[in-house]
Amino acid sequence: MKATVIEESLTDNPNFPTLATEVPLIKGLNDQLATAIIKAKDGGHQDVFNKNEARKALEAQLKSTGLLVQNVSKGDESLILSAGYDVNKTPLPIGPLPKPENLKAKAGDNHGSLIVSWNVIPGAYLYEVEYMESPVTATSVRMHVSCSKHSVTIDNLTPGKMYSIFVAGAGSDPRRVWSDELTSYIM
């Protein structure tokens, strides 16, 4: 169990002398959980409840100790690892997302509505959809809608008009790469 690794790693660890008092707490809670797991295998509801409570108590202690390790280590990965804790991978920016591909449009369920879909873009946390009456000119009124899925229903379009639609994925990079134009006639 991870708690045993942390307990052993913190025991007499010269990097964390101030955390020596945490070791017996972790050991005691870890032993309680081990006993509770054995009892819960063939036990009743109360034994399972006790096991779950023992797990919560150990997890809370490990989290509390982990915060102390983080504070003492000042984020030094080698020190954190020496305490038996894992380190998170540093997230790297992925840059601008690629332009959406395979745009499709079909009539929506309501008069004057359009369902637009496209392929999922990995890394996109939302999509921006821009649409306007076609043909697009410098004075075209651009309307926007955002969504978290790779399709959206656009309502209140004027029947009998042609619309131009563009889509871009939004991620951590503020730049947007817009799709090729999709045009659709509204019924």
Sign of CA dihedral 125, 150, 109, 137: positive
CA distance 21 to 30: 15
Q: Is the pLDDT of residue 91 over 80?
A: no
Question: Model confidence at 89, in pLDDT bands (50, 70, 90)?
Answer: confident
For 97-110, what is the mean pLDDT?
Answer: 95
Summarised one tens digit per residue, pLDDT across range 6-39 is: 999 999 999 999 999 999 999 999 999 999 999 8
DSSP structure string for 94-112: --SPPPP-S-EEEE-SSTT
Give the residue-averaged pLDDT of 82-108: 89
How far apart CA 178 and CA 118 sit, in angstroms, is 12
- Specify the 3-state DSSP secondary structure of 15: coil
Q: Among 12, 5, 9, which residue's Cα sits nearest to residue 30?
A: 5
- The predicted pLDDT at position 95 comes to 87
Q: Is the pLDDT of residue 169 over 80?
A: yes
Please write the tens of the pLDDT for every residue from 57-87: 999 999 999 999 999 999 899 999 999 999 9
DSSP for 109-153, please give it: SSTT-EEEE----TT-SEEEEEEEESSP-TT---EEEEESSSEEE
**Closest CA relative to residue 6, chosen from 66, 56, 60:** 66
| pLDDT of amino acid 75 | 87
Structure tokens, 136: 């697009």
**3-state class of 49 per DSSP?**
helix
Helix, strand, coil content of the chain in percent (nearest 5): 35, 20, 45
Specify the pTM.
0.54
From residue 80, give the alpha-carbon distance in Å to each of 66, 91, 132, 175.
9, 18, 54, 36
Q: How far apart are CA 14 and CA 71, in angstroms?
A: 15
Please report, for the chain, the start and end positions of each structural domain, with discontinuous segments joined by +.
Answer: 2-82, 104-185
Q: What is the pLDDT of residue 147?
A: 94
Give the CATH superfamily of 104-185. Answer: Immunoglobulins (2.60.40.10)
145-168 confidence digits (pLDDT tens): 999 999 999 999 999 999 999 999
Residue 105 — pLDDT band, cuts 50, 70, 90?
Answer: very high
* Confidence band of 42 (pLDDT split at 50, 70, 90): confident
